[in-house]
Amino acid sequence: MQQGPEIWLRGPVATPEPPARDAGGPPVPAPARASGRVFSWVGAHGGAGVSTLAAVYGGHDSGRSWPGPGDPQSVLLVARTHATGLDSVTAALELFRLGQIPQGLDLDAVVLVADAPGRLPKPLAQRIRLIENVIDVYRVPWVPEWRLGDLGGRPPRESEDLARLTGALR
């Protein structure tokens, strides 16, 4: 038997449902819906913003611990965009690469939270591009309201892709 090439996919792949039929007529397209997947937010370092992101986008706040058996096994690794945060992401990615994490966890993406308002210095931006070569990276901008404890309202426009992934945008 001939086999095709090996294909790597990020995240689980759902089996498509057969199209609904309208009284024997042509298939009726299914309505679009947000992902039903729930994530565990895991901080790569202290102060990464895990609790804030879990409150704004939904999901399980794992703090700096790996999710337990009853927690969602899909992980979003969180870090700040400063040098220490990016070092922590690199170290955590290496743990995943070496298989030194609890069995069954799936690292879906890295979420980088701005450590200050404004543009990143060039050396940090270059380091982020290297991380983006390895895994999907979602960026969350500096949100002054979050600093004051106001977590209401819609997620920032710059992080709409993350909001779609987590189902926070409906």
Q: What is the mean pLDDT of residues 79-102?
A: 96
36-58 pLDDT, tens digit per residue, is 689 999 999 999 999 999 999 99
Q: How confident is the model at residue 168 (pLDDT cuts 50, 70, 90)?
A: confident
Q: How far is CA 150 from CA 34, 81, 107, 136, 143, in A?
A: 25, 22, 29, 28, 10
Q: How confident is the model at residue 160 (pLDDT cuts 50, 70, 90)?
A: very high
CB 30 within 8 A of CB 17: yes
Q: Which of 137, 144, 162 is nearest to 56 (CA)?
A: 162
Q: What is the mean pLDDT of residues 74-84?
A: 97
Q: What is the mean pLDDT of residues 21-26?
A: 50
Strands 27-28 vs 20-21: parallel, antiparallel or unpaired: antiparallel
DSSP designation for 141: -
92-145 pLDDT, tens digit per residue, is 999 999 999 999 999 999 999 999 999 999 999 999 999 999 999 999 999 999
What is the CATH topology of the domain spanning 37-166?
Answer: Rossmann fold (3.40.50)
Range list of β-strands (E), 32-118: 39-43, 60-61, 74-80, 106-113
Question: Is the pLDDT confidence value at 1 over 50?
Answer: no
Tell me which of 17-31, 80-94, 116-130 is least confident.
17-31
Domain ranges of the chain: 37-166
Quote the pLDDT of residue 134: 95
Look up tokens 């042509």; give the residue: 26
Quote the pLDDT of residue 37: 80
CB 141 within 8 A of CB 158: yes
64 alpha carbon, distance to own chain's centre = 15
